[in-house]
Structure 1
Amino acid sequence: MRRIATLLGTLAAATMLAVAVPQSALAAHGDLIINGKVHHDPSGCYSSDRWPLSVENHTDQPALVFDGPDCSGGIVGVVPPGGSTVSEFGGSVLIR
């Protein structure tokens, strides 16, 4: 019985910690600029319908440039933290 109570207490504490972590902790820190539009502390996929695709990565994470919308298709480039690129074939950008 004591083991079950300890297990339940541990699970409850882990759940509280998971809920207490702010969502921004999961995002890159800084600004991602796609075709002139600034995304502060970005996370996820950003599609664009303008070509060429211009990406400035002022975050702490690399950004992946995909040739399709919604981060589909192949990766056509990687923009490192502090880097920038102009991609003729880019359609979307993924950052975590």
Structure 2
Amino acid sequence: MRRIATTLGAVVAAATMALALPGSAFAATGNLVINGIGHKDPGGCYSTGPLVSIIVNQTDRLAYIYSDADCFGEVQAIVQPGLATLSFGSSVFIR
């Protein structure tokens, strides 16, 4: 009887972890619009080009605008969910 309780406890713990962890690994939910081009449920780094960019963050995550391509360099701005900004950055990162 003790083995069954131990095994059942381990299964319940594993199931709880399996249900709790995946949410943090998935991409943002919503749309990230960069210069009029939408990216549904974005995740990762997006190039904005060398000119001034319009970033519209319609997701549930923060969007980080970097000074250099490939999301390197300094963070120029952080765009909150539901907001838009003009940016001089070269790339945008969103989780």
Matched residues in 1 for 2:87 and 2:48: separation? 12
Look up the SS of the partner of 2:42 in the other structure. coil
CA deviations 1:24-71 (Å, max 9, x no partner) are x61100000011110000000001224102100000001000000000
Matched residues in 1 for 2:62 and 2:36: separation? 18
Look up the SS of the partner of 1:27 in the other structure. coil
**Equivalent in the alignment of 1:48:** 48
TM (normalized to structure 2)?
0.74
Q: Number of residue pairs matched? A: 91
Matched residues in 1 for 2:32 and 2:50: separation? 16
**Equivalent in the alignment of 1:39:** 39
Matched residues in 1 for 2:61 and 2:94: separation? 7
Q: RMSD of the TM alignment (CA)?
A: 3.2
Matched residues in 1 for 2:31 and 2:58: separation? 5
**Equivalent in the alignment of 2:90:** 91
In structure 1, what residue type is equivalent to 2:85?
Answer: T
Look up the SS of the partner of 2:51 in the other structure. coil
In structure 2, what residue type is equivalent to 1:73?
Answer: G
The list of structure 1 runs, each at least 4 consecutive aligned residues, that deviate by more than 6 angstroms after superposition, is none
Structure 1, unaligned runs of 5 or more: none
**Equivalent in the alignment of 1:72:** 72
- Once the two structures are aligned, what percentage of the paired residues are identical? 44
TM (normalized to structure 1)?
0.74
Structure 2, unaligned runs of 5 or more: none
